[in-house]
Amino acid sequence: MAFVDDNERPIRAGYSVEIYSQNSNSWKQLKEILPRQHHFGASRFGVLVNETLYWRIIYFNDVQELFTPVLCFDTINEKFDVIQSPDDVHDYDLGVFKGHLCLVEHHKTGHIDMWTREVGKNQNWIKFMNLPPCEAVSPYDRLALICSMKEDEILANVRPKCVPPWSRRKEEFLLYSPDVKTYKKIHIRGNVKHFIDEITYTDSLVSP
């Protein structure tokens, strides 16, 4: 949402949050204010875990220090909150690993660290897996976590670093096995050359 003056010059910008209710088949505008002025990271769709949506956000403080915390929205209580990312971790994506929120940290060397939050009162970030560099991923690309598979295998997609997530991508899927620390390319059946996005299928109680 943007605001302009009579000369069509932008004077300030902000966010409007609206929630759709299937029960009433209507939208309502949320009066809850976002914690601070920021902009979203690579993905604007959010990651849903246990009725809570998560986004990576970016902002600078008054002395231009960079912060990249996690914005979360409780869909039950309709409240926003901010979770600090691990210390000195800025280049990351969010995903879901075995039903838990997962932070995927990217390093310039090509390897990846995977973090999750402790269960309990403290809920500190803990590093639980390290992925080695993959020869199939060029310096201009990065691995994006899609989902966890059986035996802790990880399905990922190769994405260009500087291309918006909603642009078309080539079919490049990799399956990482932590037991042998190797990557295997996964092919899609059919003539799929480009696609916009991939999603993880989840059973729903709502009929289509």
pLDDT of residue 191: 64
Closest alpha carbon to 144 in 154, 152, 153: 154
Residue 201 lies in a domain: no
Tell me if 39 sits within 8 A of 87, measured CB to CB: no
Reported as a single tens digit per residue, the pLDDT across 46-80 is 888 988 999 988 877 777 777 888 999 998 898 88
Sign for the CA dihedral angle at 74, 69, 101, 91 comes to: positive
Residue 62 lies in a domain: yes
Type of residue numbered 196:
I
Instruction: State both tokens at 50.
Output: 């246990």
Look up the pTM and report it.
0.78
Residue 86 lies in a domain: yes
Q: Give the whole-angstrom CA distance, residue 68 versus residue 57.
A: 5
Residue 202 lies in a domain: no
Parent domain of 17: 2-195
Q: Which parts of the chain register pLDDT below 70?
A: 1-15, 32-44, 121, 162-171, 190-197, 202, 204-208
Residue 205 lies in a domain: no
Letter string b/e over residues 82-96, b meaning 16 or more CB atoms within 10 A of that residue's CB: eeebbeebeebbbbb
SS3 label, residue 130: strand
pLDDT of residue 38: 61
Q: Half-sphere exposure of 60 toward its Cβ, with a 13 Å CA cutoff?
A: 4
pLDDT of residue 127: 95
pLDDT of residue 158: 83
In terms of residues, how long is the chain?
Answer: 208
Residue 57 lies in a domain: yes
Domains identified in the chain, total number: 1
- Return the bridge partners of 183, or none: 176
Tell me if 122 sits within 8 A of 103, measured CB to CB: no
Residue 7 lies in a domain: yes
Residue 190 lies in a domain: yes
Tell me if 66 sits within 8 A of 56, measured CB to CB: no
pLDDT of residue 168: 52
Can you tell me which residue has the tokens 């990846």? 112
Q: Give the whole-angstrom CA distance, residue 18 versus residue 206.
A: 21
